[in-house]
Amino acid sequence: MKKNQGVLVLILTVIVIGLLSFTAAVGFGKGAIGSAKNIKTGLDLAGGVSITYQVDESDPSQEDMDDTIYKLQKRVASYSDEAQVYQEGTDRINVEIPGVDDANAVLEDLGKPGSLEFQDEDGNTVLDGADIADAEGAVQEDQTTGEREYVVSLTLTKDGTEKFATATEENLNKTIAIIYDGSQISAPVVQSVISDGKAQISGQESIEEANELAQVLRIGSLKLELSELRSNVVGAQLGSEAIRTSLIAGGIGLALVALFMIIVYALPGFVAALSLAIYTGLELVMLNAFDLTLTLPGIAGIILSIGMAVDANVIIYARIREEISLGKSVRSSIKTGFQKAMSAIIDGNITTLIAAAVLGAMGTGSVKGFAMTLALGIVLSMFTALVISRLIMNAMFAVGLRDEKFYGKQKERKVIDFVGKRKIFFTISIILVLLAPVGMGIFSATDGQALNYSLEFVGGTSTNVTFNEDYSIEEIDQQIKPVIQEITKDANIQASKVAGSNAVIFKTRSLTLDEREALNQKFVDEFEVNEEKISAESISSTISSEMRRDAIIAVLIATVCMLLYIWFRFKDVRFASSAVLALLHDVLVVLAFYALIRVSVGNTFIACMLTIVGYSINATIVIFDRIRENIKGMGKKQDLAEVVNLSITQTLTRSIYTSLTTFITIFVLYILGVASIREFALPIMVGIICGAYSSVCITGPLWYTLRMKFKKSEQ
């Protein structure tokens, strides 16, 4: 790169940072397009619509209630991945959709029972929604008129295929009407026996309408008929103060990370700070562009991707310093440093991206939200590290900053015998891992709960209170929640204001009749509430058993996919096995922390565990990449243990610095955040420390142990 090109790149860098900052802070046009304030936020950060449905059928079975809740959860995902559906009492279902302020806009779609029936001319039902295996919207050409028509192509289940074959055989040259929600939408004439399990619904006016109907049919018919009981617009559960302090914490964290990088890496650190500024701006703009919903779990995904963005720069700059210390020129060191760092960066990010893709495709609710923000962050972090940082670094060199003092040299480190100490490390890890089942067993026997499950997992009590004045969320946090906690003895209290009224909905752990009466009396005594304006209902968990099952399956499949990718890239299943075992180690240690400290296990628990999985696997890949590289250059007489020890020592700086920078961002969030955010940040900090320990002390020695125990024949 020539000097004038370098100057141009630096000028463009300043312009891009300024433009991204303006876009995020102000936006463009009347609607402030692109501004951070326009990012969709979840119910916890922005509020939304709360709708309560009454089941028409008296005394519905729990099986039918669970099935209806699960299918409604699938439906509301089209509005937001963060929408929640849960049971209230024995025959009511609550739906909460963030980012929506018009209940009427969603009532018609969600309130429909979604019944689908195929009826012969005598009115007999020959098929229903349970017989539908899949449905897809499609465009085809009418064979008679040549005009385009929009249809829904149905694939039937095995039972449905048999039923439909019999029905079409018995109704040749007769019509079989397709009835959806009591209205006939099509009545085709049966011209032949259909035995392949394929059918079509025609008559849709657009491909959007066909896709919408297909989506509803894919979910299946709701088993229960529902009627709207009430609908409210509710406020944010965390309040403006929580959002404000989180933003301040994020800004301080980023500033501290940038300062740390500059102090440690000098000029390359300044380049990293510029790249991080561009990354942050792009992240905010892309959240707007892709219309992603941001919640606390989503923030976890962003934090992890920020850590990985810094990590990529640390890997690159450490490589540049190594090349300079070998006596190479600065120009050559920059070029070689980026080249050698690329495999570790790409493998680490792609491994995590695979997990994000699987979780995004199969997960629901907070799992999907986490996965989507994480995937976006990973792509942007790779782009800023491998493209933006490289351009700026070369521009700095081109304008005259060529002295190696601006870049530094890698100090020679004494190789640490990690392999020799592996028995100590393994023993420590086994003890830490066993704390999880032991702690869970003790608390299960004494408290009846292995973990401190929040109402998202086990349900609780919803108390609706109409106060005499309009309390803000901040006032509710400071004045009312402590009063409720006196009764519940539990800090896990969720509060949502009902827009246009003084009503507030409090969700707590399940309360006994005596506790409900005591709580009502507290409201009367402390806040002069009219007791007639207090109502309470038992509510189910917002994370249904089906959602938990989906999340577990998604995580297992993601783990298998990561294992296969590592096996493919490193040509050795022992690398993959070591990585997965280390990952399991980190998850179990953090689980032990949840069990022993009694941190509340709710929505953020899933996000926390997924964050640790992504962080752990990325740290492990960096060390494995260096082991792979050093094995290629090892002499015949060189001991494999020496190679492993050397590889871990060479990447030790990266492991410490990356863990420290990620820890800084979470720690500031913990210090400045409200109670719910601190409860979310604390386990992640434990996971970061645990991940750093396992990647440095466990993965390499574990791979060495497996290699020695299961030797592969050398060609």
Residue 89 belongs to domain with CATH number: 3.30.70.3400
Residues 516 and 558 grouped into a single domain: no
Domain boundary at 234, 268, 299, which? 234
Residues 573 and 634 grouped into a single domain: yes
- The closest alpha carbon to 82, from 394, 434, 369, 395, belongs to 369
- Indicate whether 433 pLDDT > 90: yes
Inside any domain, residue 326: yes
Residues 492 and 580 grouped into a single domain: no
End-to-end CA distance of the chain: 44
Q: What is the pLDDT of residues 42-94, one digit of tens each?
A: 666 666 788 888 888 888 888 888 888 877 877 777 677 677 888 888 888 88
Q: What is the pLDDT of residues 15-42, one digit of tens each?
A: 999 998 888 888 888 777 888 777 777 6
* Residues of the domain holding 621: 422-437+544-709
Q: What is the pLDDT of residues 534-548, one digit of tens each?
A: 999 888 877 767 667
> Contact at 8 Å (CB) between 89 and 459?
no
Residues 535 and 560 grouped into a single domain: no
In the structure, what pLDDT confidence band is assigned to residue 392 with cuts at 50, 70 and 90? very high
Residue 714's pLDDT is 43
Residue 697's pLDDT is 93
Inside any domain, residue 40: no
In the structure, what pLDDT confidence band is assigned to residue 249 with cuts at 50, 70 and 90? confident
Inside any domain, residue 198: yes
Inside any domain, residue 31: no
> Contact at 8 Å (CB) between 624 and 703?
yes
How far apart CA 466 and CA 482 sit, in angstroms, is 18
Residue 211 belongs to domain with CATH number: 3.30.1360.200
How far apart CA 587 and CA 471 sit, in angstroms, is 40
Residues 248 and 285 grouped into a single domain: yes
Q: What is the mean pLDDT of the chain?
A: 83
| Amino acid code (one letter) for 511 | L
Q: What is the pLDDT of residues 565-621, one digit of tens each?
A: 888 888 888 898 898 898 889 989 999 999 998 888 876 787 778 778 777 887 888
Residues 384 and 515 grouped into a single domain: no
Look up residue 114 and give its two tokens.
């979604």
- Specify the number of domains making up the chain: 5
| Whole-structure pTM value | 0.73
Inside any domain, residue 39: no
pLDDT > 70: percent of the chain:
89
Residues 588 and 655 grouped into a single domain: yes
**What's the DSSP call for residue 469?**
S
> Would you tell me the crossing angle of helices 545-570 and 603-633 to the nearest 10 degrees?
10
In the structure, what pLDDT confidence band is assigned to residue 473 with cuts at 50, 70 and 90? confident
Inside any domain, residue 35: no
- Indicate whether 667 pLDDT > 60: yes
Residues 531 and 548 grouped into a single domain: no
Residues 295 and 278 grouped into a single domain: yes
Q: Checking DSSP bridges between strand 116-119 and strand 494-497, what pairing results, if any?
A: unpaired
Residues 532 and 550 grouped into a single domain: no
Q: Look at 260-269, 432-441, 483-492 and tell me which has the smallest mean pLDDT.
A: 483-492
Inside any domain, residue 111: no
- Residue of 263 and 362 predicted with greater confidence: 263
How far apart CA 616 and CA 493 sit, in angstroms, is 32
**What's the DSSP call for residue 140?**
E
In the structure, what pLDDT confidence band is assigned to residue 149 with cuts at 50, 70 and 90? confident
**What's the DSSP call for residue 436?**
H
Residues 158 and 249 grouped into a single domain: no
How far apart CA 188 and CA 209 sit, in angstroms, is 19
Residues 548 and 532 grouped into a single domain: no
Q: What is the pLDDT of residues 685-704, one digit of tens each?
A: 898 899 889 999 999 999 99
